[in-house]
Amino acid sequence: MNILLQAAAGTGSGMGTSLLMMVAIIAVFYFFMIRPQQKKQKEVQRAREAMKVGDKVVTAGGIHGRIKEVGDSWFLVEVADGVKLKFEKTSVFASSSDVTTP
């Protein structure tokens, strides 16, 4: 009989334990998934801001070229002699020196 009474009295602490577990899971997600992604985005943004005229770049579509002009939100990239294309800064992912070739 005492065992049944103890089991019934112990169910009240389940709410606090569940809340604690939920907070722990959210913290794990933040530190192992969200925070590293934010760091990577900041690093990519800094790399884009550091790109200047003359840098070799690769776009999201895999087009290789050299920056000829830099605007507020775009790059003018020369992909061949006399062929210049305008790309949004967000579509330029890396400089050619950062890309490894197989």
Could you read off the pLDDT of 1-18 as tens digits, one per residue?
A: 555 455 555 555 677 888
With 70 as the cut, is the pLDDT of residue 101 above it?
Answer: no
User: Where along the chain do its domains lie?
Assistant: 13-50, 52-102
Mean pLDDT over all residues of the chain?
83
Give pTM, 2 decimals. Answer: 0.60
Summarize pLDDT for 31-40 with one digit per residue, the tens.
899 999 999 9
CATH topology of domain 52-102: SH3 type barrels. (2.30.30)
**CA 45, CA 37: separation in Å to the nearest integer?**
12
Q: What is the pLDDT of residue 11?
A: 52
Tokens representing 16 are: 């606090």
Higher confidence at residue 78 or residue 30? 78
Q: Which residues pair with 57 in a beta bridge?
A: 65, 95
**CA 66, CA 10: separation in Å to the nearest integer?**
69
Closest to 60 measured CA to CA, from 75, 82, 46: 75
